[in-house]
Amino acid sequence: MGKATGFMEYGRVTPSECGALERIGHWNEFAVKMDEESLREQAARCMDCGTPYCHAGRMLSGMAAGCPLNNLIPEWNDLVFRGDWRSALDRLHKRNNFPEFTGRVCPAPCEGSCTGGLIGSPVTIKSLEKAIVDRGFEEGWIVPEPPLVRTGKKVAVIGSGPAGLACAAQLNKAGHSVTVYERADRIGGLLTYGIPNMKLDKSTVQRRVDLLAAEGVTFVTNTEIGRDLPVWQVRAHHDAMVLCGGATAARELNIEGRELGGIRQAMDFLTASAKRLLAGGADFVAAGRAGQAAAEATDGFAVGSARGAGGAALEAAEGTDGFAGSSARGAGGAALEAAEGTDGFAGSSARETGGAALEAAEGPSSAELAARGAGSAAAGQAADAGDPAASTADRLASAAERASLAAERELSAAGRDVVVIGGGDTGTDCVATALRQGCRSVVQLEIMPEPPSERPANNPWPEYPRVKKIDYGQREAEAVQGRDPRRYVTSAKRFLSETGQTVCGVQTVRVDWRPDADGRLVPYEIPGSEETFPAQLVLLALGFAGPEPQLLRQLELESDERSNVRTGGHGRDWASRGEAAAREAARRGEGLAQPAFAGFGAVAERCAEAGPQARLRTAAASAADRTARASGPSAGAAAVKARPSFGAPSSPAGLSGPGKGDPAAFAYAASAEGVFAAGDMRRGQSLVAWAIREGREAAREVDRYLTGGTGLN
């Protein structure tokens, strides 16, 4: 692949970046675009290595080795080297619905498993991926591709993060009508509110959401299933449900002083920052620029005055209308449409390609949700446009929203000493965000030892390299403060306060990692190593314990030992319940509805390789023809369109077949029939690439559950 001698002729070159002191003055992405010749040279370094590990996508020593999506990396590298960018884009999209996301935020385990990195430098896979998809958008090659045929089946996807969006995209491609429910005011999950704009521009997320909406996916925002909308109503009006709500239950740090004000979860801080930027972007950026100007005037090292200037500007900006209210616009920039003339509710869309959201009369009416969506959309558009006539009161719908906004303002780092507890990407994002908000100083505490600069003997290739990284946030902090903000083998011992109400500092202690009686490494405090860091804002970036439990309880789903949704093997339980129901129906002399696996058979499997729409058209026609010949002229269509009500038992014959029809092969099926789970909600906190993979694979299972076969890859 690529040029046979490319890895010997060309060195590894990554895209350059704007200077640290320059970029902390804005919230834009800061990577500089590489020219085409340089990109083709980097692609030429992808050698014909025989057995490439870059796309293996497996777990080794508890970490991802190779691309979780099994991206066809050598293929699209070769196509870039040859200048065939359009074909490279096609191969990239073959396994990845959203390369514009992974090309920006993925830690690139593919590069850690690159054969070139075994004795030299790995190929710049991540930057090539980003270049391919960005070129596709620039050239107009990426356009909406709505399905040609609809199955009549409806699927509810709960959560609009990478797993939910990938699942929705795949199911929509297969012809099912998909509605994505999101409790936040914008679609995207952590892509929108968990990852800062300078790392993933929100217009990039919205662009893809707009494409999905144009392809027929329906999005419903400001709606939490189980609270705003009863879960039984969603189940009653969909043929399947996929839980993609993520692992959002944050880990706590229960030490002395935790009850003090000013100690918040990192994700709350990042979410508040993103909301302020989206709602009042001009003022927010101006605040950061003021801090940058002061930093440049003092060579970037006068921490107190430089960052304090930015903080003052930010506090002034918070007093303006630019921060009033966050936009609750639905995806695609459109409010939910009321389905006039129908008995729809929950913002049902009248568009056939969009699919109906729900069609029962219970619950909030479609007009109510449409009015709610339209009102918040107007407020968001007015805020984005800087309309002076739109006052704060006009943009805030309720006292609850005003209280929420006040809480978001309290999460500002402006003019404060900030301590981030925890490493990882989230901790780095907090450091970078605090700098842009105009913090006085920032320190990052990491209880683990400092990683080595090179792979240790117990971390061989192709495992993900456990070596020290200096990420963008650390580089920026070093440019401003003169040193890396991280303090390794340091543990927070207690939070301090002068008033008894709000935090003013963090007392820490250094630790020594030693084996305990069972041989496990545990941290022991080093006496006399205590140190105190000033802090008026403490951010806990300790990861996530699992999904929030409310929805799982309402659905009565089984959980695993880590509190994630337990999946796998439940299809057999569904079949057993179906057999019992079939026996009971036979005893009463009643028949069962058409099984969910109505389309399963040789025809569906033979057509799988032709793609979801080709399989759907052929299998449906063949099934209808076979049934029509056997049962008369009116039975054919019924065999294709009929389905059991959601949650009702299916015929055991439909669920107990071998191979792909075997319910034991349903790895994403939850304990309640027709309910599936994917992403962090199923596997725990993980990478965006894993979430996309899980969403795609769950979609395959849902497609098989609904039609008996699948052409999704």
How far apart, in whole angstroms, are the C-alpha atoms of residue 191 and residue 195? 6
How far apart, in whole angstroms, are the C-alpha atoms of residue 580 and residue 136? 53
Taking only the tens place, the pLDDT of each residue in 360-387 is: 333 443 334 334 444 343 434 434 444 4
How far apart, in whole angstroms, are the C-alpha atoms of residue 31 and residue 13? 13
What mean pLDDT do residues 567-595 have?
57
Mean of the per-residue pLDDT values of the chain: 78
Least confident of 187-196, 387-396, 659-668, 700-709: 387-396
Helices (H) and strands (E) in the chain, counts: 28, 18
Q: Tokens at residue 454, please?
A: 């090179």
What mean pLDDT do residues 87-113 have?
97
> Over 50: is that where the pLDDT of 408 sits?
yes
Closest residue by Cα to residue 7 from 149, 96, 159, 123: 123
Give me the helices (H) in 280-331, please.
281-297, 303-318
Considering only residues 301 and 468, tell me which one the structure prediction assigns the higher pLDDT.
Answer: 468
DSSP state of 35: P
Confidence category of residue 62, pLDDT binned at 50, 70, 90:
confident
* Count of other CB atoms within 10 angstroms of residue 402: 16
Q: H or E element: which one contains 162?
A: helix 162-173
Beta bridge partners of 523: 513
> Over 90: is that where the pLDDT of 252 sits?
yes
* 177-186 core/surface letters (b: 16 or more CB in 10 A; e: else): bbbbbbbbbb
How far apart, in whole angstroms, are the C-alpha atoms of residue 102 and residue 108? 8
The edge-to-edge listing of strands for the beta sheet with 218-220 is 218-220, 177-181, 154-158, 240-243, 675-677
Q: What is the pLDDT of residue 51?
A: 84
What mean pLDDT do residues 594-618 have?
38
Taking only the tens place, the pLDDT of each residue in 522-531 is: 999 999 999 9
* 330-343 core/surface letters (b: 16 or more CB in 10 A; e: else): bbbeebbbbbeeee
* 653-672 core/surface letters (b: 16 or more CB in 10 A; e: else): ebbbeeebbebebbbbbbbb
> Over 80: is that where the pLDDT of 434 sits?
yes
Architecture of domain 252-269+279-322+407-542: 3-Layer(bba) Sandwich (3.50)
Give the residue range(s) of CATH 1.10.1060.10 domains in the chain: 6-139
E strands in 456-549? 486-487, 490-496, 505-515, 521-525, 531-534, 537-540, 544-546
Q: What is the pLDDT of residue 403?
A: 59
- Taking CA atoms, 655 is separated from 112, 184, 189, 574, 604, in Å, by 41, 37, 34, 8, 15
What mean pLDDT do residues 166-188 have?
98
Long-range contacts of 347-350 (CB under 8 A, 24+ apart): 347/220, 347/223, 347/373, 349/218
Closest residue by Cα to residue 666 from 571, 560, 559: 571
Confidence category of residue 666, pLDDT binned at 50, 70, 90:
confident
Q: What is the CA radius of gyration of the chain?
A: 27
Least confident of 3-12, 122-131, 428-437, 552-561: 3-12
E strands in 81-171? 154-158
How far apart, in whole angstroms, are the C-alpha atoms of residue 708 and residue 655? 9
E strands in 396-464? 417-421, 441-445
Q: What's the CA angle centered on 118, arms 467 and 71, to 5 degrees?
A: 90
What mean pLDDT do residues 223-241 have?
95
Q: State whether residue 428 is helix, strand or coil.
A: helix
The residues, ordered by sequence, that sit 6+ positions from 34 with a Cβ below 8 Å of its Cβ are 13, 15, 42, 127, 131
% residues pLDDT > 70 (the chain)? 68
Residue 255 near residue 687, CB atoms below 8 Å: no
What mean pLDDT do residues 316-330 have?
34
How far apart, in whole angstroms, are the C-alpha atoms of residue 293 and residue 448? 36
The residue written with tokens 């010997």 in the block is 8
- Taking CA atoms, 198 is separated from 202, 208, 277, 310, 674, in Å, by 9, 18, 11, 18, 39
The CATH code of the domain at 145-250+326-395+551-563+672-713 is 3.50.50.60
Closest residue by Cα to residue 208 from 217, 199, 221: 217
Q: What's the CA angle centered on 548, arms 333 and 542, to 5 degrees?
A: 95
Give the residue range(s) of CATH 3.50.50.60 domains in the chain: 145-250+326-395+551-563+672-713, 252-269+279-322+407-542
Q: What is the pLDDT of residue 401?
A: 58
> Over 70: is that where the pLDDT of 627 sits?
no
How far apart, in whole angstroms, are the C-alpha atoms of residue 248 and residue 267? 9
For residue 375, the Cα-to-chain-centroid distance in whole angstroms is 27
Phi, psi dihedral angles at 125 (to 5 degrees): -65, -45
Q: What is the pLDDT of residue 250?
A: 95
> Over 90: is that where the pLDDT of 165 sits?
yes
Considering only residues 432 and 328, tell me which one the structure prediction assigns the higher pLDDT.
Answer: 432
The residue written with tokens 């190929």 in the block is 123
Q: What is the pLDDT of residue 573?
A: 62
Instruction: Identify the burial level of 95 via C-beta atoms within 10 angstroms of its C-beta, where 0-12 means exposed, 13-18 middle and 19 or more buried.
Output: buried
* 107-137 core/surface letters (b: 16 or more CB in 10 A; e: else): bbbbbbbbbbbeeebbbbbbbbbbbbbbbbb
How far apart, in whole angstroms, are the C-alpha atoms of residue 391 and residue 321? 7
Confidence category of residue 580, pLDDT binned at 50, 70, 90:
low
How far apart, in whole angstroms, are the C-alpha atoms of residue 353 and residue 147? 8
**β-strands 531-534, 263-265 pairing:** unpaired
Least confident of 418-422, 463-467, 566-570, 648-652: 648-652
How far apart, in whole angstroms, are the C-alpha atoms of residue 562 and residue 371? 40
Confidence category of residue 612, pLDDT binned at 50, 70, 90:
low
- Taking CA atoms, 202 is separated from 155, 197, 199, 206, in Å, by 26, 6, 9, 6
Least confident of 55-64, 104-113, 631-640: 631-640
Taking the CA atoms of 589, 594, 597 and 598 in sequence, report the sign of the dihedral they define: positive
What mean pLDDT do residues 603-618 have?
42
- Taking CA atoms, 389 is separated from 301, 335, 373, 405, 555, in Å, by 41, 21, 20, 20, 46
The residues, ordered by sequence, that sit 6+ positions from 443 with a Cβ below 8 Å of its Cβ are 417, 418, 419, 420, 485, 487, 533, 535
How far apart, in whole angstroms, are the C-alpha atoms of residue 150 and residue 172? 9
Q: State whether residue 177 is helix, strand or coil.
A: strand
Phi, psi dihedral angles at 415 (to 5 degrees): 70, 15
* Domain 6-139 sits in CATH 1.10.1060.10: yes
Q: What is the pLDDT of residue 370?
A: 37
Closest residue by Cα to residue 612 from 169, 91, 68: 169
The residue written with tokens 């640290």 in the block is 20
Instruction: Identify the burial level of 50 via C-beta atoms within 10 angstroms of its C-beta, where 0-12 means exposed, 13-18 middle and 19 or more buried.
Output: exposed
Considering only residues 667 and 355, tell me which one the structure prediction assigns the higher pLDDT.
Answer: 667
Confidence category of residue 587, pLDDT binned at 50, 70, 90:
low
Taking only the tens place, the pLDDT of each residue in 676-687 is: 999 999 999 999
Closest residue by Cα to residue 150 from 123, 181, 178, 122: 178
The residues, ordered by sequence, that sit 6+ positions from 298 with a Cβ below 8 Å of its Cβ are 305, 306
Q: What is the pLDDT of residue 581?
A: 55
Question: How much of the chain is in helix, strand and coil states, percent to nearest 5?
Answer: 45, 15, 45
The residues, ordered by sequence, that sit 6+ positions from 569 with a Cβ below 8 Å of its Cβ are 664, 666, 669
What mean pLDDT do residues 294-317 have?
39
% residues pLDDT > 90 (the chain)? 62
